[in-house]
Amino acid sequence: MLKLSNLSKIYSRHGKSVSAIDGISLQIDKGDFVAIIGPSGSGKSSLLLMMGGMLSPSSGEICLEDQSIFDLSSRQRAALRQEKIGFLFQTFNLVPYLSALQNVLLPMLFGGLDKGSRRNRALTLLDEMGLADRVDHKPSELSIGQQQRVAFARMLANDPPLILADEPTGSLDPEMSHQMIAFLKELNEKGKTIVLVTHDLNVARQANRVIEISKGGAIVTIQEGATLEIALS
């Protein structure tokens, strides 16, 4: 489903080049659940953003379902993300002046559903997240856990086959963290492909495979007989 070939990312910092990702190649198949771990500064979040077409690589190729996503125009990439990719961020990225319902409706505005269908789907998702009585509340009126559940509902709005989650449990207490991972595992069991960045080894162990990234390369931990090939430069 998702294939990265000899991927590199170089940033410019104070006139110097800093390599965040250096020649990583990997394949994530449909229905997989992969956790990416590694120390701060190892390029985990950069890798996830590149997978989602939100950050251009310095070199290499990323293909989603055999489509090289950075061969697309910015408008075409946006349409691809709209249809196929759901993002879940540690900081939630909710629009502060919109209600929970409006935040969930937002990614559906440019889809094919009519207004009534969009509203019904958003309400259903919020209800499934236990937020049926919070649909008109703005993010500042919600607890951290409730905000995360709104973000989760928004991520599912367009029913994406690929979910990219960046430290989704980082702001949550242990109970909410457990619930969030349970949600992700349930989605994976229903066939969704999940790539999760985390610093929490207990969270990572819930995935089918764990990739540990170090600066300039990657070390693979194989779980439950799964295999993954990494090419290092």
Residue 180: pLDDT band (50, 70, 90) is confident
- Report the topology of domain 30-54+73-221: Rossmann fold (3.40.50)
The reported pLDDT for the residue numbered 144 is 86
Inter-CA distances, 143 with 83, 87, 176, 180, Å: 29, 20, 11, 15
Q: Residue 3: which of 85, 65, 71, 46 has the closest Cα?
A: 65
The reported pLDDT for the residue numbered 217 is 57
Please list the helix, strand and coil fractions of the chain in percent, rounded to the nearest 5, in that order.
Answer: 35, 30, 40
The reported pLDDT for the residue numbered 226 is 44
A 10 A CB-CB count for 69 gives 22
Provide the token pair at 60.
């290499």
Give the tens place of pLDDT for each residue, 100-131: 999 999 999 877 788 999 999 999 999 998 99
How many CA atoms are closer than 13 Å to the CA of 70, on its beta-carbon side? Answer: 18
pLDDT(218) > 70: no
The reported pLDDT for the residue numbered 220 is 55
Q: Residue 204: which of 232, 148, 172, 165 has the closest Cα?
A: 165
Residue 14: pLDDT band (50, 70, 90) is confident
Give CA–CA dist 123/78, Å, rounded.
25
What is residue 22's three-state secondary structure? strand
Q: Residue 204: which of 190, 188, 223 has the closest Cα?
A: 223
pLDDT(232) > 60: no
pLDDT(57) > 60: yes
pLDDT(38) > 70: yes
Q: Which of 77-91, 108-122, 128-142, 172-186 has the highest mean pLDDT?
A: 128-142
Q: Residue 49: which of 13, 96, 85, 73 has the closest Cα?
A: 85
Provide the token pair at 105.
């409706």
Whether pTM > 0.75 for this model: the answer is: yes
